[in-house]
Amino acid sequence: MYQKRFAHLLELMQAAQLDAIAINPGHSLKYLTGLDFHLMERPIVLLITDKGKTAMVLPELEVSRADKSPITAHLFPYNDNPTNWQQSFFEATNYLGIHTMKIGVEPTRLRFLELNFLQNAAPQAAMVSGAEVFEQIRIIKDANEIALMQKAAQIAETGLENTLSLVKPGVTEKELATELVLQCLRAGGDAEFPFNPIVSSGPNSADPHAMPTDRKIQSGELLLFDWGASYEGYASDITRTFAVGEPDPEFIKIAEIVARANLAGRKTGRPGIPAGDVDRSTRKVIEEAGYGQYFTHRTGHGLGMEGHESPYLFSENELLLAEGMVYTVEPGIYLTGRGGIRIEDDVVVNQHGSFSLSTLERGLKVIG
């Protein structure tokens, strides 16, 4: 599996005309090597040339773990004295001979810390964005990856179902968020979550990226959960909105509109169409219902080892969907100061069209 991924990486590098790439700890490094290092004050960088030659700069304490990777790299360890770290970078770049090469970096991941060491070691090399490579390397999921994401969705749904019994007027958003995390762990989720859960009530639910607060839930208002779980490193990301007691009649109407938009988005995806078509399909439903100005974000984003990755579903995106892509469909309508409704599912493109990994009821259910 890792050899196949490594070969695909070299193909992408050659297509992007990159002589080498630099990868620091994160999902791309884990995907390619199986090594799950954390970002810390000690730099770790894997360098790979377009011919497949590799070198890794890392702390001595991580050598035994690096030796277990199925991808063999020549290691250049350093000790805990920071004055010695640059030397390991000099040795690694000399070993690879990349002093005048074009080196692609992961633009959303590589820090100034690693970049500075690399630039000092190879001042004539061109450090450029490797986004073209990193956005493509994990975009197609195989059957095993999809199975892990299916399990992550099941864990998340079980976690929410086991949390809902606590919902009642007077409980706080933070209390529910804490319970939701606990229940996802009990259901078998990884200790590391793809993101912190959003639990937002009443007017807070009109903020798409609200954080849980000490606000107490009140009868007659909306309660939104946007949460996910990870399973063996793969993520789920789901949103469901509930009514605590009898809701405002307008929100009953809005919930039905958002549900139709969500269905349209889930049904649109298939191989060969632009990613933007999914966004246009959900947006059309909401605009025709007269709430277009209250749908304030893209329809969705890719999902995999990260909670947000390619493909991104915005109207102008002409990237063609392909079998094995996984993304969220999450239309919403948000009335500032009153409340918002979002319905989000995790969708897989297959040879026939697309299907949802998440299955929880999507209507506006009254609880509490």
**Does residue 368 carry a pLDDT above 90?**
no
List, for residues 238-248, the tens digit of each pLDDT value.
999 999 999 99
Q: Tell me what pLDDT residue 235 has.
A: 98
Beta bridge partners of residue 333, listed in sequence order: 341
- Provide the H-helix boundaries in the chain: 2-15, 27-33, 63-66, 85-96, 112-121, 131-137, 143-161, 173-186, 249-268, 276-288
- How far is residue 93's CA from residue 324's CA, in Å, rounded to a whole number? 36
By percentage, how much of the chain surpasses pLDDT 90?
Answer: 98
What is each CA distance from 146 to 7, 105, 231, in whole angstroms? 21, 27, 11
Spatial CA neighbour of 131 closest among 30, 16, 298: 16
Rounded to an integer, the average pLDDT of 210-217 is 97
List the structure tokens of 56. 């890794």
- pTM confidence score: 0.93
Q: What is the homologous superfamily of the domain 2-137 according to CATH? A: Creatinase/prolidase N-terminal domain (3.40.350.10)
- Residue pair 351/329 in contact (Cβ under 8 Å)? The answer is no
List, for residues 250-307, the tens digit of each pLDDT value.
999 999 999 999 999 999 999 999 999 999 999 999 999 999 999 999 999 999 999 9
Q: Tell me what pLDDT residue 317 has.
A: 97
Question: What is the band of 195 on the pLDDT scale with cuts at 50, 70, 90?
Answer: very high
- How far is residue 85's CA from residue 60's CA, in Å, rounded to a whole number? 11
**Does residue 188 carry a pLDDT above 90?**
yes
- How far is residue 223's CA from residue 220's CA, in Å, rounded to a whole number? 10
> How does the average pLDDT of the chain come out, rounded?
97
Rounded to an integer, the average pLDDT of 15-29 is 96
- Single-letter residue type at 141: K
Question: What are the residue ranges of CATH 3.40.350.10 in the chain?
Answer: 2-137
Task: State the DSSP code for 187.
Answer: T
Task: State the DSSP code for 325.
Answer: -
- How far is residue 314's CA from residue 9's CA, in Å, rounded to a whole number? 26
- How far is residue 3's CA from residue 329's CA, in Å, rounded to a whole number? 33
List, for residues 310-319, the tens digit of each pLDDT value.
999 999 999 9
- How far is residue 288's CA from residue 285's CA, in Å, rounded to a whole number? 5
List, for residues 35-89, the tens digit of each pLDDT value.
999 999 999 999 999 999 999 999 999 999 999 999 889 999 999 999 999 999 9
Question: What are the residue ranges of CATH 3.90.230.10 in the chain?
Answer: 143-367
Q: What separation, in Å, do the N-terminal and C-terminal C-alpha atoms of the chain show?
A: 48
Task: State the DSSP code for 181.
Answer: H
Annotation: CATH topology of 143-367: Creatine Amidinohydrolase (3.90.230)
Q: What angle is formed at CA 346 by the lines to CA 175 and CA 162, rounded to 5 degrees?
A: 30
List, for residues 122-158, the tens digit of each pLDDT value.
999 999 999 999 999 999 999 999 999 999 999 999 9
